[in-house]
A and B are shown apart, each in its own frame.
Chain A
């Protein structure tokens, strides 16, 4: 790292009560994200996990100021203790935030790269724009930038379609690292990659985190999350329902929210049993707990009253790691 970013207790990103609403035709509202609250510290990786369509990627777009025009946001998302990403104007976001203070590792790198230009030319452009490197040293700087993400310099003159999924991912990561941003935002960086490449990609992201960056990784791949994360935030139907330390979450005593437990138990290395039903529509969320309809522990209180997010959990029936007595009653 170029400068000493000491952990002074100030999180790199501090999100408070972030909500995103989409106004649809006919005056209908879609509650894509509701009251999200979390923070990420330097050198820390927070994994945001949940089913597809639960609002994870909308949250990422909100942080980058890339939401469509029909979206409204409330709450705050303070970057580095001074910039609220939700109220900052486009000029600030474009000139000082994207690439410089937040590096984005995209979901499908092959689509993120410009198809008609080589990796070298894209790296050089980012270097010119973000670091001001010019002239003869630019070529050398591009090789160094590629090496930081383990992109082999023999492939620099290739076009994106000539790269495999793994190499395209590394090219995109190299671009994300150029601005030396204190926060890396990785949106499903491992989708469609095979297991070896998933592990290599997350290990590399972990290495960049260990250098002192904060990493927010959005994923539905629980194995990848377990490998990389310090803490896990579980999202369901637009809300964060549980935040827990990764060792506690994946090991003992396990997740406290029944949805998080269901998601883990669905893994083929565990019970391989799906959670019954499907998530509710974000445009028609129930008044009570959004998971109640699929939950074995749900009672009248769950359907009537929405659980508050307190002590990193939003549930009326927190699990303790042992089988819940109500579960037997529900199964019987």
Chain B
């Protein structure tokens, strides 16, 4: 499904955050990527989500070698991957109602006719009421907004879902509820999952296997320095 081979990526070519890292996610598999803050796991997740172009290395998605990232990626590749970020406040346009937020990927891929049906379906799946769908982000809690962000990530029925610290801001019950939504979607669609996080107990419970990552961190001092970047 997803094959990352010897990826080097970062924000400064002389000091990459991710160095020579390989990761493999099989079709339908759930992989947890564990590591302390600042180890580069989010950067790798961004590469896998086609949101950040690596400096070196190759990536294949369903056997196709990826040649372009961000706007350079063809639509069928971009829409095959759904992403949920850590902070729902930063990843939701404050001017849109939750309904519009969830519908946005459909609109921008020319599938607006499907909006009413898909939004209703997903709102039900993630547990958002009709009344909540009409509100804008400032009028809902973090947990409710993250539910909408998860619905948005699922609206195009991705074959790979990437959850980057999806539950770090959330309480235990909301965490369990969102993980249950992801797992229900995966059991129905057969989609693969890359879950990035630092909560070992959570990822080991959630995923088929976990990959631990700490190679860039020589010790606590190094970790602090890296995290500062």
Which residues from chain A sit less than 8 Å from chain B, CB to CB?
A: 50-53, 161-167, 191-197, 220, 222, 262-264, 266-269, 272-275, 277-278
Q: How far is the CB of B168 from chain A (nearest CB, A)?
A: 6
Instruction: Name the residue on A nearest B147 (C-beta).
Output: A278
Instruction: Name the residue on B nearest A162 (C-beta).
Output: B228
Chain A residues near B168: list those with CB within 8 A. Answer: 191-192
Asked if residues B172 and A164 are in contact (CB atoms below 8 Å), the reply is: no
**Which of B86, B205, B227 is in CB contact (< 8 Å) with A268?**
B205
B169 contacts partner chain A, Cβ-Cβ < 8 Å:
yes
- 7 A–B contacts, CB within 8 A, in A order: A53-B144, A164-B227, A263-B173, A267-B176, A267-B201, A268-B199, A278-B144
**Which of B142, B172, B226 is in CB contact (< 8 Å) with A53?**
B142
Chain B residues near A263: list those with CB within 8 A. Answer: 171-173
**Interchain CA distance A194-B198 in the complex, whole Å:** 6
**Interchain CA distance A191-B86 in the complex, whole Å:** 11
**Interchain CA distance A51-B180 in the complex, whole Å:** 18
Q: How many interface residues does B have (CB within 8 Å)?
A: 35
Asked if residues B37 and A51 are in contact (CB atoms below 8 Å), the reply is: no
Q: How far is the CB of A219 from chain B (nearest CB, A)?
A: 9
Asked if residues B179 and A272 are in contact (CB atoms below 8 Å), the reply is: yes
Asked if residues A273 and B170 are in contact (CB atoms below 8 Å), the reply is: no
**Which of B37, B172, B201 is in CB contact (< 8 Å) with A197?**
B37
Chain B residues near A192: list those with CB within 8 A. Answer: 86, 168-169
Q: How far is the CB of A190 from chain B (nearest CB, A)?
A: 10
Chain A residues near B201: list those with CB within 8 A. Answer: 267-269
**Interface of A, helix, strand, loop or mixed by DSSP:** loop
**Which of B171, B199, B204 is in CB contact (< 8 Å) with A220?**
B171
Interface centre among A53, A165, A194 (most CB of B within 10 A): A194
A163-B228, A267-B201 are known contacts; what are 5 more A-B pairs with Cβ within 8 Å?
A: A164-B228, A191-B169, A196-B36, A264-B172, A266-B177
Asked if residues A273 and B176 are in contact (CB atoms below 8 Å), the reply is: yes
B82 contacts partner chain A, Cβ-Cβ < 8 Å:
no
Enumerate the 9 nearest inter-chain pairs by beta-carbon distance, A residue then B residue, closest first: A164-B227, A274-B177, A53-B141, A194-B198, A274-B176, A220-B171, A266-B172, A268-B205, A266-B176
Interface centre among A50, A222, A278 (most CB of B within 10 A): A278
Q: How far is the CB of B37 from chain A (nearest CB, A)?
A: 5
Chain B residues near A194: list those with CB within 8 A. Answer: 36-37, 198
Contact count A vs B, C-beta below 8 Å: 96
**Interchain CA distance A167-B127 in the complex, whole Å:** 38
Asked if residues A274 and B173 are in contact (CB atoms below 8 Å), the reply is: yes
Q: Which of B157-178 contact A (CB under 8 A)?
A: 168-177
Asked if residues A52 and B142 are in contact (CB atoms below 8 Å), the reply is: yes
Instruction: Name the residue on A nearest B171 (C-beta).
Output: A220
Asked if residues B228 and A268 are in contact (CB atoms below 8 Å), the reply is: no
Asked if residues B180 and A195 are in contact (CB atoms below 8 Å), the reply is: no
Chain A residues near B204: list those with CB within 8 A. Answer: 268
Asked if residues A52 and B37 are in contact (CB atoms below 8 Å), the reply is: no
Chain B residues near A195: list those with CB within 8 A. Answer: 198-200
B224 contacts partner chain A, Cβ-Cβ < 8 Å:
yes
Contact digits for B134-169, partner A, Cβ 8 Å, 1 yes 0 no: 000000011110000000000000000000000011
Chain B residues near A262: list those with CB within 8 A. Answer: 173
**Interchain CA distance A267-B173 in the complex, whole Å:** 7
**Which of B143, B199, B226 is in CB contact (< 8 Å) with A51?**
B143
Q: Which of B184-222 contact A (CB under 8 A)?
A: 198-202, 204-206
**Interchain CA distance A325-B86 in the complex, whole Å:** 40
B223 contacts partner chain A, Cβ-Cβ < 8 Å:
yes
Asked if residues B224 and A51 are in contact (CB atoms below 8 Å), the reply is: no
Chain A residues near B228: list those with CB within 8 A. Answer: 161-164, 167
Q: How far is the CB of A134 from chain B (nearest CB, A)?
A: 32
Q: Which of B22-78 contact A (CB under 8 A)?
A: 36-38
**Interchain CA distance A197-B224 in the complex, whole Å:** 10
**Interchain CA distance A195-B204 in the complex, whole Å:** 14
**Interchain CA distance A267-B142 in the complex, whole Å:** 18
**Interchain CA distance A166-B198 in the complex, whole Å:** 14
**Interchain CA distance A163-B201 in the complex, whole Å:** 27
Asked if residues A51 and B38 are in contact (CB atoms below 8 Å), the reply is: no
**Interchain CA distance A164-B179 in the complex, whole Å:** 28
Chain B residues near A269: list those with CB within 8 A. Answer: 201, 205
Q: With A51-B143, A274-B176 as given contacts, are A268 and B202 in contact (CB-CB < 8 Å)?
A: yes
Q: With A164-B37, A166-B224, A274-B177 as given contacts, are A51 and B171 in contact (CB-CB < 8 Å)?
A: yes
Interface centre among A163, A195, A277 (most CB of B within 10 A): A195
**Interchain CA distance A275-B178 in the complex, whole Å:** 11
Instruction: Name the residue on B nearest A220 (C-beta).
Output: B171
Chain A residues near B205: list those with CB within 8 A. Answer: 268-269, 272
